[in-house]
Amino acid sequence: MNRNNIAALTLGLSAFLSCAALPAVVTHAQDLVGYGDDEVGEEGGLAAFRTHGSGWTSTSSGTSGLGRPATLTWSIVPDNSQLPTGLGEPVSNSNLIAFLDGVHHGGNSPGGADLTQRAWWQLMNSVFERWDEVSGIAFNYEPNDDGRKLGTASGILGTRGDHRIGGHSIDGQISPTFLAYNFFPNNADMVIDTDEINRWSNATNNYRLFRNMMMHEVGHGLGMNHVEPVNRTKLMEPFLATVFDGPQFDDILGIQRLYGDANEEGTGNDTFAVATSLGTVLTGQTISVGTDATDSFVAPGEIDFVSIDDNSDIDYFRFSINSPNLIDITLTPLGPTYEEGSTVANVAPFISSAQSNLTLALYDSDGTSLLEFSNDTGLGLSEQIDNFQLSVAGDYFVRVGGLNNTAQFFQLDVTAVPEPTTLLLLVLGSIGSTLTRRRNING
């Protein structure tokens, strides 16, 4: 086994792993999960987030590439399947299913061979679903796993998953201690330390310690590496914090660099024919997309993140109007400024709102006739198309692009502006309505 392709999760501030021996994931317990030395990402031009290669290129469901969506499966290896000696622990068989049954069901096995009936399966599934909903990744559970040794076999539909999960004793309940380790793509198998009963049975915040550990490890399995500094703002830090739940801003920016945003799933939105629908914009109304990419902290329910992942990516959006209207369109690069680096020694400010110079275009209902184009500003500044008269009701298209080979979050706002006469009527109507209410109130 090539240990340069795994990442280990360890507990304890003094834990140290040579990156040459163990490239990526180490985790701590208590509130933190600590790793070893970081390995610098291999992709040129990547800043805050750090990647290990270009992510998945070949999966059980097809192929992918940098900035392209991927369909992946995950499975749980049967107990008694052989696990590797990834961190120097003795070779032994997986006992993860029995271990988790003991933690959550007192040793019982509801559902028998159907693992989806277990309470702990729901926790695992939520881990993959969270990465799915903030990126161009489509994760599907593979109920079959033939028990092939972890780290040695690619995923095959109906046979085993792309991401496979097992567990056995790694190093006992010592401090510092390893909690788990994970392989990088195109092999994303995970081994969890089943000695850690006190940690994995911690039910605080719906088993957040267990879920954040798994989400961190899956992040490595998707091609994400460690990033500094350790300040509890990023899931992929060398210390895994429980003060947040799941991927944070920097993690989501990184995963969208590798696989695009959620609109890339399926047919994507790279042409007008498959444009993302914004719906109908009514007079006086604004429709917005991409509103969640504003600060470093990301709550579990936030999913509205859209991005241009490089200078070859374009995103099309479709909106409709019911009658002739003036239209305002604003494209705003989003993101906070924060400290980051591949090691503590090279930490520097990262201005996430100024990574790619965005471009904005408006197209007619045929999707190809250019009505207006805006590239009037530079990095970190908004592009606008103001008071553009659309004289015919129907569909129109907005195209967003970027000029730099980096990922950039953005917010797109489309407003149907009331024309002066319409605006006057709206104001008069409002005044009339107010007077009527006053008459009714005053009798």
Task: Give the model confidence (pLDDT) of 272-294 as tens digits.
Answer: 999 999 999 999 999 999 999 99
Residue range(s) occupied by CATH 2.60.120.380 in the chain? 267-414
Exposed/middle/buried for residue 30 (C-beta within 10 Å: 0-12, 13-18, 19+): middle
Distance CA 269, CA 306 (A): 11
Kindly write down the DSSP assignment for every residue of 46-63, as one continuous string: --SS-BSTTS-SEETTEE
Q: Which residues contact 375 (CB under 8 A, 6 or more apart)?
A: 357, 359, 360, 383, 403
* Structure-derived torsion over alpha carbons of residues 289, 53, 406, 245, reported in degrees to the nearest 10: 40
**How far, in Å, CA of 407 to CA of 258, rounded?**
9
**Strand, helix or coil at 123?**
helix
Cα torsion for 95, 98, 104, 105, to the nearest 10°? 180
Are 389 and 324 in contact, with CB atoms under 8 Å apart?
yes
| 243 CB neighbour count, 10 Å cutoff | 12
Cβ(131)–Cβ(47) under 8 Å?
A: no
The pLDDT value given to residue 244: 98
Which pLDDT value is given to residue 173? 84
437 has pLDDT over 60: no
Instruction: Classify residue 261 as exposed, middle or buried by CB count within 10 Å of its CB (0-12, 13-18, 19+).
Output: buried
Summarize pLDDT for 48-94 with one digit per residue, the tens.
467 777 889 999 999 888 889 999 999 999 999 999 888 889 999 99
DSSP 317: E
| 121-170 pLDDT, tens digit each | 999 999 999 999 999 999 999 999 999 999 889 999 999 999 999 999 99
What's the whole-number mean pLDDT along residues 325-334? Answer: 98
205-210: list long-range contacts, CB under 8 Å, 24+ apart: 205/242, 205/245, 206/123, 207/123, 208/242, 208/245, 209/29, 209/242, 210/123
With pLDDT > 70 as the criterion, what percentage of the chain qualifies? 83
Q: Calculate mean pLDDT across residues 26-32.
A: 33
- Specify the pLDDT at position 342: 74
| Arithmetic mean of pLDDT, 184-194 | 94
For 189, the 3-state DSSP assignment is coil
DSSP notation for 7-29: EEEEESTT----TTT--S-----
Range 416-430 average pLDDT = 60
- Which CATH class, in words, describes the domain spanning 3-258? alpha beta
Residue type, 404: N
- What pLDDT is recorded for position 20? 26
Spell out a b/e string for 142-161, using b for 16 or more CB atoms within 10 Å of the CB, else e: beebebbbbbebebeeebbb
DSSP 343-402: SGGG-EEEEGGGSS-EEEEEE-TTSSSEEEEE--S-TT--EEEEEEEE-S-EEEEEEEEE
Nearest to 35 by CA among 13, 64, 56, 59: 13
DSSP label at residue 136: S
184, containing H or E segment? none
> What is the second-level CATH architecture of the domain 267-414?
Sandwich (2.60)
Residue 32 pLDDT class (50, 70, 90 cuts)? very low
Q: Where do the CATH 3.40.390.10 domains begin and end in the chain?
A: 3-258
Q: How far apart are CA 428 and CA 422, in angstroms?
A: 10
Query: How much of the chain exceeds pLDDT 90, in percent?
Result: 71
How does pLDDT run across 242-283, given as a tens digit for each residue?
A: 999 999 999 999 999 999 999 999 999 999 999 999 999 999
Q: Which of 175, 150, 173, 172 is nearest to 161 (CA)?
A: 150
Q: What is the pLDDT of residue 172?
A: 87
Q: pTM for the whole thing? A: 0.86
